[in-house]
Amino acid sequence: MRIDVVTIFPDYLAPLALSLPGKARDKGLLDLAVHDLRGWTTDRHHTVDDTPYGGGAGMVMKPEPWGRALDEVARGATIVFTTPSGEPFTQALAQELSGHEHLVFACGRYEGIDQRVVEHAATLGTVREISLGDYVLNGGEVAALAITEAVVRLLPGFMGNAESLAEESHVDGLLEYPVYTKPASWEGRDVPDVLLSGDHGRIAAWRRAEAQRRTAERRPDLLAATGVISGLADLDVR
């Protein structure tokens, strides 16, 4: 997979060279480049924003630098605009994006990017406008980081242990069950007996029940979507 990130704060994306994405690069699964949008400005002050037509607070990112940047790096790509007005980012969307050959993240700052850039991008490749969730960040850089990390760890050959991918939160639509390790007793708190029983059938059943209990308590919206159970009332929740 190839990933290009276009931003006015390339240093913000430095963590991409480390940790999980860094591992993917070392394994040859990922080719990643971070670009400074100001490299596509032509004026002495490297201007990337201007006041909004129609008035209002804040500044809007100008179309010309974005147009030149995307013409150069985004032909044929899936172009992701990170914006709080986008579709919510989910594990399913991460799964989908992990199958794409070339992702380009266009990180907006200020009040957003001139809408004509999004229309232009759609002539170069496939556009997705994606939000991390219902809260406001100063810019799309953190979202690009988060999306990249969620996508790259799904690349075939990235995770040593495919089972840990299959069992984690959100993959089956449920939150993950609680986990324990040694010692069996710590500060007067014991690991649930069933996990020490060696009975794999009982352990699996316990984990399924705990995952459902947790999901009902914390994310009843997810349970409704799985169709397993309609909500808290159907569960024996403490």
- Contacts with ligand 6GU by CB under 6 A lie at 82-84, 131-133, 135-137, 139-140, 143
Q: Are 228 and 219 in contact (CB under 8 A)?
A: no
Among 153, 25, 141, which residue's Cα sits nearest to residue 91?
153
Is 193 part of any known ligand binding site?
A: no
Q: Which two tokens stand for residue 167?
A: 């069992």
Is 134 part of any known ligand binding site?
A: yes
- Give the residue with the Cβ less far from ligand 6GU, 61 or 223: 61
- Give the residue with the Cβ less far from ligand 6GU, 76 or 133: 133
Find the shortest distance in angstroms from Cβ 82 to ligand 6GU.
3
- Give the residue with the Cβ less far from ligand 6GU, 21 or 140: 140
Find the shortest distance in angstroms from Cβ 61 to ligand 6GU.
12
Find the shortest distance in angstroms from Cβ 135 to ligand 6GU.
5
Q: Which two tokens stand for residue 44?
A: 């002495």
Is 151 part of any known ligand binding site?
A: no
Find the shortest distance in angstroms from Cβ 121 to ligand 6GU.
16
Q: Which two tokens stand for residue 47?
A: 């201007």
Is 86 part of any known ligand binding site?
A: no
Find the shortest distance in angstroms from Cβ 3 to ligand 6GU.
16
- Give the residue with the Cβ less far from ligand 6GU, 121 or 223: 121
- Give the residue with the Cβ less far from ligand 6GU, 127 or 223: 127
Contacts of 148 (CB under 8 A, 6+ apart): 3, 5, 16, 21, 32, 103, 105
Q: What are phi and psi of 132, to 5 degrees?
A: -75, -25
Is 140 part of any known ligand binding site?
A: no
Q: Which two tokens stand for residue 222?
A: 């997810």
- Give the residue with the Cβ less far from ligand 6GU, 21 or 139: 139
Among 9, 25, 8, 26, which residue's Cα sits nearest to residue 148?
25
Is 43 part of any known ligand binding site?
A: no
Q: Which residue has the tokens 């200020």?
A: 110
Angle CA(118)–CA(62)–CA(121) in degrees, nearest 5?
Answer: 20
Distances from the Cα of 30 to the Cαs of 82, 141, 150, 210, in angstroms? 20, 19, 13, 36
Find the shortest distance in angstroms from Cβ 84 to ligand 6GU.
4
First to last CA, the chain: 46
Is 135 part of any known ligand binding site?
A: yes
As annotated, the binding site for S-adenosyl-L-methionine includes 108, 132-137
Which residue ranges are tagged as binding site? 108, 132-137
